[in-house]
């Protein structure tokens, strides 16, 4: 009897293990089949490109978040950082008439400062990453609002002086937010971070730190230096996401990056289980973003009300967290 029970338990665990490895990919396939059967144009080339375009920004931001998770951190300020980058880059064009390179460089420099601030606060004060970046999330969002004066930054906007803004957004910048460039940028970021985390010593050290920081420190790895690097990369990629967002919409709206936080967190945590990785990884994060994108697109085509979308996304995140942490304890 005991042997039978043990065999059944082993089979059950093996089934769970298989679902853990391939469940996300299987879910994507099942959703595609269901939506394809339920709607007329879901599987068209145009709609598939629309899905990739819709997940491009959140994938870029989530990939940066993945790097912070690799060292055992959790950068909750990525949405606010994207807002800062979006506001800075558009203002450089509209308010100051700067060329493409200067605008992008200014936005990335602002995000570099954000990453350094996050890293120094976390490493110097030994405050839990999630709590500290939760605080800085509000600070950076407030800075973005203050910088933009609480208004949408766009061409021909009315300035505080009463004059109209005369600067123009470069056409070459707008191309970054269009197909195919927005998709190409996303794929380059995912591939670059995948190679960095898995095929360089810096990425391997980050995984070691995330797995056991004390053992990594005893091995001679400068833990705080790599945690700082992780937060800088996270901020720069969040900033790149904000820049691409500005190119896509042609303006810097108030709190533009904030809505991307929840989807980025969901994509990153869903990615833990892809192919049984069990750790933050760029390819898994991309798969998680695809899952969210397919789900959102299909629900829209089925005319599900927009205000119900967060319920579905929150449910997906809860399921991903449950599977990840359950697997981590067994």
Tens-place pLDDT, residues 110-134: 999 999 999 999 998 888 899 999 9
Residue 28 placed within a domain? no
Residue 325 has pLDDT above 90, yes or no: no
The predicted pLDDT at position 27 comes to 85
The predicted pLDDT at position 312 comes to 78
Residue 16 placed within a domain? no
Cα–Cα dist 221/208, whole Å: 9
Assess contact for 244 and 185: CB atoms under 8 A.
Answer: yes
Residue 216 placed within a domain? yes
Residue 327 has pLDDT above 70, yes or no: no
The predicted pLDDT at position 67 comes to 98
The predicted pLDDT at position 26 comes to 85
The predicted pLDDT at position 278 comes to 80
The predicted pLDDT at position 291 comes to 92
Residue 193 placed within a domain? yes
pTM of the model: 0.92
- What is the tens place of the pLDDT at every residue in 189-209? 999 999 999 999 999 999 999
More confident: 171 or 326: 171
Helix axes 78-94, 129-148, angle to 10 degrees: 20
What percent of the chain clears pLDDT 90, i.e. is strictly above it? 70
Residue 321 has pLDDT above 80, yes or no: no
φ/ψ (deg, to 5) at 164: -95, 145
- What is the tens place of the pLDDT at every residue in 172-190? 999 999 999 999 999 999 9
Residue 70 has pLDDT above 60, yes or no: yes
Residue 298 placed within a domain? yes
Residue 13 has pLDDT above 60, yes or no: no
Residue 67 placed within a domain? yes
Assess contact for 254 and 148: CB atoms under 8 A.
Answer: yes
Domain that holds residue 213: 38-325
- Annotate 120-134 with DSSP letters as a single string: HHHHHH---HHHHHH
The predicted pLDDT at position 225 comes to 95
The predicted pLDDT at position 272 comes to 86
CB atoms within 10 A of CB 229: 18
The residue with tokens 């339920």 is 38
- What is the tens place of the pLDDT at every residue in 18-58? 777 887 888 888 889 989 999 888 988 999 999 999 999 99
The predicted pLDDT at position 247 comes to 97
Assess contact for 247 and 175: CB atoms under 8 A.
Answer: yes
Residue 9 placed within a domain? no
Domains in the chain, number = 1
More confident: 302 or 102: 102
CATH code: domain of residue 55: 1.10.3470
Residue 289 placed within a domain? yes
Q: Minimum mean pLDDT among 130-139, 236-245, 266-275, 317-326: which range? A: 317-326
């Amino acid at each position: 009897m005991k042997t039978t029970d043990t065999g059944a338990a082993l089979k059950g665990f093996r089934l769970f293990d298989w679902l853990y490895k391939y469940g996300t990919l299987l879910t994507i396939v099942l959703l595609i089949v269901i939506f394809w059967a339920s709607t007329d144009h879901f599987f068209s080339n145009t709609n598939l490109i629309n899905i990739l375009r819709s997940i491009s920004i959140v994938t870029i931001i989530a990939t940066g978040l993945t790097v912070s998770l690799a060292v055992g951190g959790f950068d909750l300020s990525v949405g606010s950082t994207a807002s800062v980058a979006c506001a800075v880059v558009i203002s450089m064009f509209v308010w100051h008439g700067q060329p493409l390179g200067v605008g992008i460089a200014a936005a990335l420099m602002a995000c570099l400062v954000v990453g350094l601030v996050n890293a120094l606060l976390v490493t110097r004060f030994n405050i839990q990453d999630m709590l500290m970046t939760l605080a800085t999330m509000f600070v950076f969002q407030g800075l973005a609002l203050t910088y933009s004066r609480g208004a949408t930054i766009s061409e021909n906007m009315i300035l505080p002086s009463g004059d109209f803004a005369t600067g123009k957004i470069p056409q070459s910048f707008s191309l970054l937010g269009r197909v195919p460039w927005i998709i190409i940028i996303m794929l380059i970021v995912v591939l670059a971070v995948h190679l960095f985390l898995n095929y360089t010593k810096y990425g391997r050290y980050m995984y070691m730190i995330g797995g056991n920081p004390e053992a990594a420190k005893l091995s001679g790895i400068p833990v705080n230096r790599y945690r700082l690097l992780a937060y800088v990369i996270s901020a720069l990629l969040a900033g790149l996401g904000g820049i691409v967002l500005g190119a896509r919409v042609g303006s810097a709206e108030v709190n533009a990056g904030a809505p991307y936080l929840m989807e980025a967190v969901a994509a990153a945590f869903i990615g833990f289980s892809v192919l049984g990785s069990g750790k933050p990884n760029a390819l898994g994060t991309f798969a998680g973003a695809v899952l969210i994108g397919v789900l959102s697109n299909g629900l829209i085509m089925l005319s599900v009300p927009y205000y119900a979308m967060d319920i579905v996304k929150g449910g997906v995140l809860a399921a991903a967290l449950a599977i990840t942490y359950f697997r981590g304890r067994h």
